[in-house]
Structures are given as structure tokens and as C-alpha cells.
Amino acid sequence: MVNNAKTDESKAEDRMPERGGRQHDKPRSGAEILHEAAEQTAQTLNDALSDAARIGAEKMTHAAQEIVENLDLRELPHRAREYARRNPLQFAAIGIAAAVLIGLIMRSRHTA
């Protein structure tokens, strides 16, 4: 009876996968263990980055909705003039950056 119990246990152990889903057919090398750990780490990082991107997108959407709801288009030119008077160099830099960006977009449309 005891021998039958041990035999049944050993048969069950032979069918059970190790951690990582592998059978007991051969011992794992250090490279296989490191590879598996790297894959698990990559998956964990991917999940974390995905969650962070989702949360960031939700916050950006909420902030954009608040801005649009509180935006008065009639007041926008007045606010732009005031900003230009208070920060002339920054305003010029923003204008130059916008022009360069628009130029790059237009150039990429012509080459594509």
C-alpha cells in the first residue's frame, strides 16, 4: 500500500509542470532562467507603462475638456496680445517654433 502511494505521488509529480510551465524532463540552464526572468520583467514593465499611459491619457482628456469648457474665444486674441507684451522674446520663440513645425509638416507631406 505504501509503495502504491509513493508510485502515485511520483507519477503525479512527473505530470506537474515546474514554475514557468516546463516539464521535469531536464534541468534548466542559467541562460534559460535569465531569459525567463527577463521576459517576466519586460511583461511587468509593459503592463506598468500601459497603465501609466492610460491614466495619463485620461487626465489629459479631463484637463482638455475643462480648458475647452472654460475657453472664451472672444477673449483669446486679447490674452495673446497681453502675453506678447509681457513676454516678447518667449512669444517670438513660440512663433518661430510653430513656423518651423508647420514647415516640417508641409515638407513631409510633399516627400511622402
**Whole-prediction pTM:** 0.38
Give dist(CA 109, CA 107) in Å, integer.
5
Number of neighbouring beta carbons within 10 Å of residue 28:
13
pLDDT at 15 over 90: no
pLDDT digits (tens, 9 = 90+) for 67-85: 888 888 888 899 999 999 9
Which positions ≥6 away from 16 have C-beta within 8 Å?
24
The grid coordinates of residue 92 equal 517670438
Helical ranges in 17-71 per DSSP H: 30-70
pLDDT at 85: 96
Give dist(CA 91, CA 83) in Å, integer.
7
pLDDT at 102: 95
Share of the chain above pLDDT 90, in %: 52
State the pLDDT confidence band at 20, using cuts at 50, 70 and 90. Answer: low
